[in-house]
Structure 1
């Protein structure tokens, strides 16, 4: 029988800005606890200190550091995690004072990503992010890391790369970048092929654990891993779905966002995040039941702006309606409130998504010869068809609907006079008025 490994006992440390919002600080400490549990640890205590700004040398004050040292000994803690990104000197100074392993929020998130990555691309991206973070922080904790047999902060390259010199790390980073360039080139070709095939692309984005994968599973009957935990999904998944009126779109799940997402991760996962920037439409999923939902929503909006994706049309889905306590007020429009686990709500979502996409399309009316069955099929898959009837007088199908401006089907309706004959009611065959 396999021996059960005891969970690491962890103390959380946070510095509250004296001029900041107390409630936001509490939410961030709670989120750090959730991240710790996701990584496989158990929080045994918290230490907090209110300061105008973190101490440059040791993050917390000297007195608090002594108090922390005693707490580690008394509670027999295995690890201390700070709710902020420590500078190389802070990490080194704190580690020397405590003589125990110290991690910061960034390292914790990187560790979770190392656990979650399944694809070759995901694993390479995580390793690159970890090495980029570790490179300036090599000194200070190597003697502590060498005593560990595994656990939080040692997954991925962490437990071995601290023992090698910077030159070898840089060589490994260059090798990873070369491999990722090939993966990125493949992903770009795949994305370009989808564009050439005129597939309308919808990207699901949102704060981690907002319910993106659950919504994707419900809409597509996909088997994407979805659990009530942070960063349950790391590798992107794309599935084709049909909107209520028949138009086909590609729906892509993406990695969850988080406040202060490490810059090393943003850089390493650039090719994955390009799935968002290349989308025609964005569905922003928000956990409406979360106490800090407004900050989560704002964090995602800020990252979309950083990615220059904020101009892409969006629909905000306020999820987990069944868990909301008290009144709820939407902060964004267009939006819909639902529970991804309810079949009726999923149907309402698809209808709302179709209407929202349609708002950016151009109305058309067209007469198509009955023998142009292939073109009729394209119309139904690539546009939103509202009305179709057969005109016996000249054996044409009269179609009314909405098409994406600039799309292949749109251009065909304008240019191919042999196919797109005028509707005999005084209007043009393609009407954008």
Structure 2
């Protein structure tokens, strides 16, 4: 598990280094004292550089041992992202105590595209010192900036993630004409003026661009065709396809992404005309889901949705099904299943449905236990990228992946609230989006049904998005389709540190229980927690009660419910000061 120059190192030392693998650093830290102490102590013992690789979830993913003056990187090919920054942080020790980055260190940052690379040294007094480097964007050029020496406290206060976002976006948009691996996409959409279209075409196309970016494609052109209706054969019309062919040739694009769901005929005709791979919005979303599903059930649900989607389109999926193709639109269930006949695919769908049903039964048992114990459940819902996972991490002290990307989180996660007197469970769900594929909603019914059974929904809204009113409307529509529109809802306006134009005017049109927060900067969180407690338990009452010694068992129940504020033992009874809600009054009524 420890890579590099480990010959001659005692097994006890290697075991100590191996104990760091899968260690999770607290989410608000870049590095913690536990990891630093082990690295410096081991470096002093063996007089060699030691390197740790930390992944996007703040987990130590790999360890390497080098020479006295050179680090040896472990294999990170399967850990990092292929496009943009690799999503990893790297730290290594310097046995000579000097934390300054060498020219080789700076070259490694640029070549391997680390989010951050740091060196660890020690002062003569034994204090750990850190120098860090990361890539800056200066105009159109990339350069490595070094900062330090820093103490551990100063290091953990260092803000570098905004620089990462800028550089990552630049790297993904940068045209690389020498590689065939780069998927260069032309985005096309049809603008139809209808009353039932919620998002305007400009916003819808920008959202499609974000989806393409999340999937790893570089957008080289965007084309919108104004039509009264979508062409059943050519999607945008035959004349526009001729125009698109020229755009594809000039931009050297190898992928076309359509903003609507296509039929098998449209797919086949467009691919024949344009000579490149064609995918639609639904296929793109399914591809992102296939990449982000981590749990066994999540993967099964995505596979089921993809098979349902592709079954009626086998005729038109030419290049998407090519064994030599690969890339966006091909991930998930795999090519072999899709090249079999329809009967085999139907059989596979049936198998997947039965496996998901069996998982559902296990979840039902867990739910019945929670209901028996009367544990309140709250679900986070909202448009994708509204900040649900950031808020979830903050309220539950978890480390669910939180990124400025669409569908960064896919699998539903449930955790206990931290700092709560009573046990409350919070569930983070997949984000919603315009034109959310029907097959996807159907496949995820078993996961999303948790929303229906929640005691309270926290509808998280992106206050920085000028289109947030229409996003609220879209989320409400999905909730109606899940038959969850009758649930008690709190509207949580996140990212209030960067509110959009005319926010107050739009905010005033929303009726119901509302809160304004910034999950990133922890603004308004205590007020939000108070509102949640009030919605779950009602108004709090504080009373004095007197419990005879023969009723001692009731005291244990009151403590378990977090109701006891003060306790005093007297000669004939125990005097308690309790805090409770109207729903709990039956427990104390006769002792008041």
Query: For this structure pair, what is the TM-score category when the shorter chain's length is used for normalisation?
Result: 0.7 to 0.9
| Aligned equivalent of 1:189, options 365, 382, 398 | 365
The residue number in structure 2 matching 1:397 is 576
Which region of structure 1 is more displaced relative to structure 2, 393-402 or 113-122? 393-402
How many Å apart are 1:123 and its aligned residue? 0.5
SS at match of 2:590: coil
Q: In structure 1, how many angstroms separate the alpha carbons of the residues matched to 2:238 and 2:492?
A: 46
Q: 2:431 matched to 1:253?
A: no
Q: 2:515 matched to 1:336?
A: yes
Check the 8 A contact 2:378/2:427 in 1, yes or no: yes
The residue number in structure 1 matching 2:590 is 422
How do residues 164-179 of structure 1 correspond to structure 2 at under 5 angstroms?
Answer: 164-179=340-355
Q: Per-residue displacement from partner, 1:11-51 (whole Å, max 9, x unpaired)?
A: 00010014568972111100000000000101000111111
| Aligned equivalent of 2:445, options 270, 278, 282 | 270
Q: Return closer, same or farther for 1:377/1:222 CA change in 2, 3 Å cut-off.
A: farther
| Aligned equivalent of 1:292, options 463, 467, 478 | 467
Q: 2:243 matched to 1:89?
A: no
How many Å apart are 1:61 and its aligned residue? 1.3
The residue number in structure 1 matching 2:396 is 220
How do residues 376-415 of structure 1 correspond to structure 2 at under 5 angstroms?
Answer: 376-379=555-558, 382=561, 385=563, 394-397=573-576, 399-404=578-583, 410=584, 414=586
SS at match of 1:282: strand
The residue number in structure 2 matching 1:152 is 328
Q: In structure 1, how many angstroms separate the alpha carbons of the residues matched to 2:446 and 2:546?
A: 41
Q: 2:285 matched to 1:109?
A: yes
Q: In structure 1, how many angstroms separate the alpha carbons of the residues matched to 2:275 and 2:289?
A: 26
Q: Per-residue displacement from partner, 1:86-109 (whole Å, max 9, x unpaired)?
A: 122222222232232111110000
How many Å apart are 1:345 and its aligned residue? 2.3
Q: 2:536 matched to 1:357?
A: yes
How many Å apart are 1:309 and its aligned residue? 1.2
SS at match of 2:378: strand
SS at match of 1:339: coil
Q: Return closer, same or farther for 1:32/1:308 CA change in 2, 3 Å cut-off.
A: same
The residue number in structure 1 matching 2:108 is none
Q: 2:235 matched to 1:59?
A: yes
TM-score by length of 2: 0.64
Q: In structure 2, how many angstroms separate the alpha carbons of the residues matched to 1:262 and 1:26?
A: 20
Q: In structure 1, how many angstroms separate the alpha carbons of the residues matched to 2:523 and 2:239?
A: 57
Q: Per-residue displacement from partner, 1:129-182 (whole Å, max 9, x unpaired)?
A: 000000000012335631544210010125333321111111111111111111
The residue number in structure 1 matching 2:152 is none
SS at match of 1:123: helix
Q: Return closer, same or farther for 1:313/1:23 CA change in 2, 3 Å cut-off.
A: closer
Check the 8 A contact 1:11/1:47 in 2, yes or no: yes
Could you say which structure has the greater relative contact order, defined with CA pairs below 8 angstroms and 6 or more residues apart? 1
Q: Return closer, same or farther for 1:158/1:96 CA change in 2, 3 Å cut-off.
A: farther
Number of matched residues?
410
The residue number in structure 2 matching 1:316 is 491
The residue number in structure 1 matching 2:524 is 345
Which region of structure 1 is more displaced relative to structure 2, 143-152 or 247-256? 143-152
Check the 8 A contact 1:86/1:104 in 2, yes or no: yes
Q: Per-residue displacement from partner, 1:356-395 (whole Å, max 9, x unpaired)?
A: 3344x79797846265566445446547x59767695743
Q: In structure 2, how many angstroms separate the alpha carbons of the residues matched to 1:299 and 1:377?
A: 46
SS at match of 1:26: helix
Larger radius of gyration: 2
Q: Return closer, same or farther for 1:272/1:373 CA change in 2, 3 Å cut-off.
A: farther
| Aligned equivalent of 1:11, options 176, 181, 186 | 186
Q: Return closer, same or farther for 1:242/1:65 CA change in 2, 3 Å cut-off.
A: same
Which region of structure 1 is more displaced relative to structure 2, 173-182 or 153-162? 153-162
Q: In structure 1, how many angstroms separate the alpha carbons of the residues matched to 2:449 and 2:388?
A: 17
Check the 8 A contact 2:278/2:320 in 1, yes or no: no
Q: Return closer, same or farther for 1:378/1:286 CA change in 2, 3 Å cut-off.
A: farther
Unaligned runs of 5+ in 1: 405-409, 425-433
Unaligned runs of 5+ in 2: 1-74, 84-178
Which region of structure 1 is more displaced relative to structure 2, 289-298 or 30-39? 289-298
Q: In structure 1, how many angstroms separate the alpha carbons of the residues matched to 2:552 and 2:214?
A: 53
Q: Per-residue displacement from partner, 1:198-256 (whole Å, max 9, x unpaired)?
A: 11111111111111110111112111111111111111111111566x22210111111
Q: In structure 1, how many angstroms separate the alpha carbons of the residues matched to 2:379 and 2:559?
A: 22
How many Å apart are 1:316 and its aligned residue? 0.9
Q: 2:476 matched to 1:301?
A: yes
Q: 2:374 matched to 1:198?
A: yes
The RMSD of aligned alpha carbons is: 2.7
How many Å apart are 1:325 and its aligned residue? 3.6
